[in-house]
Amino acid sequence: MPQIGSFLLLLALALSGYSFVFGLVALIRRDPAFVLIGETARRAGVASFVAVLFAAAILVHAAFTNDFSVAYIYQHSNRDLPAAYKFATLWSGQEGSLLFWSLLLSGYGFVLRLRHRTDERLFAHASVIMAGVQVFFFLLLNFAARPFSMTQGQIPLDGAGLNPLLQYPEMVIHPPMLYLGYVGFTVPFAFALGALIMKYPGDKWIHITRHWTMITWGFLSCGIALGAHWAYYVLGWGGYWGWDPVEIASLLPWLTGTAFLHSVMMQEKRGMLKTWNMWLIFITFGLCIFGTFLTRSGVVSSVHAFAQSSIGNWFIGFLAVIAATCVFFYLYNHSYLRTEHRLESLVSRESSFLFNNVLFLLICLVALSGTLFPIFSEWIQGHKVTVGPPYFNSVTVPFALLLLLLTAVGPLLAWRKTSLESLKRNFLWSTIGALLIGIILIATPASWGPPFGLRPRDDLGYFYSLLAAILAALVILTVFAEFLRGGRVISRHTGNNLLTSILQLGHRNTRRYGGYVVHIGVALVFIGVLGTPMNRSAEKEMGYGDTIQIGPYLLTSRSYTQEETPNYTGDKAIIDVTKDGEPVTTLYPENRMFTATQQPQHVPSVHSLLRGDLYVVFEGKNPETGRPIIKAHLNPLVPWLWLGVLVMLLGTVLALFPNAPPIRAVAPSTVRAVVHAPAGAGD
């Protein structure tokens, strides 16, 4: 079977190579005789997906049948690994994850090529560009990172096992989501480059690209959130975002992709920012490839070290080819991207989009430069420095707060120019409401628990949290006010109740109101994050009956137990939690030792309420006393973060729904009389 897998990968390379070369020839030679060749190129692209699908299936089959003659299966699986994780073996190592990447890329190409009748010439260009990217990844799989390499010497009886950090249910979902996001940006890139090359007339391509980008963006958002959730529930350090290079690598294309989703509206509505949008897509795709290079080349140190190798040079070369291609076609065809309108006022929807884009790009640049700074430092100073969370938090939070302000203000500004009267009408009561919330947060006693009693004077983190709370409230209030205003208008015209009218309103312009729901989600995410400066933790060696007091909770160690499975042995603590003498819950933090890898793993136990999480970790045992060490974290407001992500995803799905047909207003009878006036009377 592994030989068949290798052959299929070679076949996929040949098919995508054919699709690229002959697709290109058919595009260059517009002769009708070459139309047939173009069709064969398209079909070869379709077939490449089938080949790589079977190759991936063979690798998964090898994992399920414990075929340790395949070196990759030996390195990333073992006999007692649960079935779900055997499936996840596909993306848990370098070679497998590249195969998975190629599978998704070919899958996207498959869908794109099947939908070619939408616009045959544009789709033919996009198909060729997709094929070019496929060729690169199939070259990698066939020559640099072969998933079907055979184990040297005698075939081992059992495998080395899967990294314990990856043995968590979310690891079965998180990488596919993240990869769907990463890889998906190839499609907008292919359409954008294709449109630039062929000087595509009209703006249909931007509609197609926007739709693909929204889907991709949704997957990437979901992937990043699942990664944060996984870090929170698996790594056991009580946090969800550590500014690790791998995390930053996933954030960079998300930032530029989000910027594109905003600025594309300016192109659709006003024919502006065409060059900017084109480059945003190019940069987003480039950042996906750059992120892959960053996390797999070993140039920066990362906790996600399970996928490092020497394939970095391949990615550098590919990035150079992408950059050269984009620059060449831009210089060659840039006149095609001439803007149709110019900005007319600083206070307008257009300028808010412009500032929003600049801020997204700035956060992206700051995060990227911070990630690469250790390398520059080593070149210039001769020694490495660490650029960790304190740096990134200091420099990105002010930008993020400015973005949150724009999230509140931008959507309600009018196109072209906004009058002071309109500003007052849209923002007065929302602003007063948000400021009142801020005053309440300051004036209330801290003993009420976070977020009350936010005193911004002594701690910059508290000041940022207060600002974030006020701005998040402003976002939510302005969006609700907007829904209410629109709902009332519809209610007046149709006679329906307000809730039905609001639903009708959302259905009539799903993109706009779906976007508003995403904004509410973003505000909720900020509420989840603003509790960070108020995090508390306590650590103690706990024998039977020992206690830890953290915030309002008293933790009492009731007993300890052991669990043994074929895959791991675990020590579990049973901790009773009380508040003011009343029982609240019982928590079961665990410390596992995995049999195959002999690596330990914490499994935190979390009591989650909207006001915050009580997060308890079994840290291990004191080697001298043998007593268990328990660490408790009190993380205020964190559940709002997950809630916010869900709302963001809901908004994305809403925005993807087609609009309800517009309701035609019935002209009053007097007007109708004018409309039905004799032909030519008014001409």
Partner 1 sequence: MRLRFSRANFLRMSAVLVLGVFLLGASDDSSRLDRLGHRMMCVCGCSQILMECNHVGCTYSETMRQELSSAIDAGKSDDDAILAGFVEKYGTTVLAAPTHSGFDRVAWFMPLVLLIVGVGGCVWIVHVWHRRHATAPAAAPAGLGADELNRFRDQARKETDL
Min dist. Cβ of residue 506 to partner 1 (A):
14
* Phi and psi angles of residue 237, each rounded to the nearest 5 degrees, phi first: -100, 0
Instruction: Work out whether 493 is an interface residue with partner 1 (CB under 8 A).
Output: no
| CA-closest candidate to residue 61, choices 153, 149, 176, 148 | 148
The residues in 18-77 that bind partner 1, with binding defined as CB under 8 A, are none
Buried b (16+ CB within 10 A) or exposed e, 56-76: bebbbebbeebbbebbbbbbb
Which one of 3, 65, 118, 301 is in contact with partner 1 (CB under 8 A)? 301
> Does 237 participate in binding partner 1 (rule CB under 8 A)?
yes
Among 512, 576, 607, 627, indicate the residue that binds partner 1 (CB under 8 A): 512
Within 523-562, the residues that bind partner 1 by CB under 8 A are none
Q: Which is nearer to partner 1, 194 or 533 (CB)?
A: 533
Give the x-and-dash track for 354-373 against partner 1 (CB under 8 A): xx--xx-xx--xx--xx--x
Segment interacting with partner 1, rule: CB under 8 A, options 131-139, 187-195, 280-288, 298-306: 298-306
User: Contacting partner 1 (CB under 8 A), which of 82, 169, 317, 390?
Assistant: 390
Check residue 179 and give left, alpha or beta (phi > 0: left; psi -120 to 50: alpha): alpha
Q: Using CB under 8 A, which of 302, 407, 418, 605 touches partner 1?
A: 302
CA distance 430 to 333: 46
Judged by CB under 8 A, the chain residues 313 through 342 that form the site for partner 1 are 342
CB 249 within 8 A of CB 310: no
CB 114 within 8 A of CB 123: no
30 or 416, CB closer to partner 1?
Answer: 416
In 3-state terms, the chain is what percent helix, strand and coil (to 5)?
65, 10, 25
* Closest CB to partner 1 among residues 396, 585: 396
CA atoms of 146 and 326, how far apart (whole Å): 30
Q: Which stretch binds partner 1 (CB under 8 A): 321-329, 386-394, 475-483, 492-500?
A: 386-394
Nearer to partner 1, 188 or 438 (CB): 438
Distance CA 358, CA 256 (A): 10
Query: Where does this chain touch partner 1 (CB under 8 A) — which range of 18-26, 218-226, 249-257, 345-353?
Result: 345-353
Part in contact with partner 1 (CB under 8 A); list of ranges 55-63, 141-149, 194-202, 238-246? 238-246
Q: How far is the CB of 190 from partner 1 (least distance, A)?
A: 26
Q: What is the CA radius of gyration of the chain?
A: 28
Does 239 interact with partner 1 (rule: CB under 8 A)? yes
Do residues 576 and 556 touch, judged by C-beta distance below 8 A? Answer: yes
**C-alpha triplet 241, 246, 250: angle, nearest 5°:** 85
Q: Shortest gap between Cβ of 446 and partner 1 (angstroms)?
A: 7
Residue among 362, 361, 386, 389 at smallest CA distance from 373 = 386
* Mask for 243-282, x = binds partner 1 (CB under 8 A): -x--------------------x--xxx------------
- Segment 442 to 481, residues that bind partner 1, using CB under 8 A: 442-443, 446, 453, 455-459, 462-463, 466
Out of 80, 620, 643, 656, name the contact with partner 1 by CB under 8 A. 620
Is 345 or 595 the residue whose CB approaches partner 1 more closely?
Answer: 345
CB of 420 to partner 1, least distance (A): 8
Nearer to partner 1 by C-beta: 95 or 571?
Answer: 571
Task: CB nearer to partner 1: give 107 or 242.
Answer: 242
Between 425 and 579, name the residue whose CB sits nearer to partner 1.
425
Among the listed residues 56, 100, 234, 86, the one whose alpha carbon sits nearest the alpha carbon of residue 159: 86
Measure the CA–CA gap between 430 and 428, rounded to whole angstroms. Answer: 6
By CB under 8 A, the residues from 412 to 441 that bind partner 1 are 415-416, 424, 428, 435, 438-439
- The region that residue 201 occupies, defined by phi over 0 for left and psi between -120 and 50 for alpha, beta otherwise, is beta
DSSP class of residue 571 equals E
Minimum gap (Å) between residue 536 Cβ and partner 1 = 10
Give the ranges where 495-557 is alpha helix by DSSP (H): 498-508, 510-529
Taking contact as CB under 8 A, which single stretch among the options 128-136, 177-185, 278-286, 379-387 is the one that binds partner 1? 379-387
CB of 346 to partner 1, least distance (A): 5
Instruction: List the x/- string, 190-229, binding to partner 1 by CB under 8 A.
Output: ----------------------------------------
Say how many residues touch partner 1, by CB under 8 A.
78
For the CA atoms of 454, 456, 461, 463, the dihedral, rounded to the nearest 10 degrees, stands at 100
State the DSSP code for 626.
-
276 Cβ contact partners less than 8 Å away, ≥ 6 residues apart: 263, 357
Smallest gap, in angstroms, from Cβ of residue 290 to partner 1?
A: 18
Contact stretch for partner 1 (CB under 8 A) within 126-134, 518-526, 540-548, 614-622: 614-622
Return the residue matching tokens 């998906």.
184
CA 574, 579, 583, 584 torsion-angle sign: negative
**Residues of span 631-670 touching partner 1 by CB under 8 A:** 631
Site for partner 1 contains 242 (CB under 8 A): yes
Residues 114-173 that bind partner 1 (CB under 8 A): none
Query: Token pair for residue 477?
Result: 């209030």
Could you say whether residue 600 binds partner 1 (CB under 8 A)? yes
Cα–Cα nearest to 392, from 417, 411, 367, 372: 367
Nearest of 304, 299, 289 to residue 371 by alpha carbon: 299
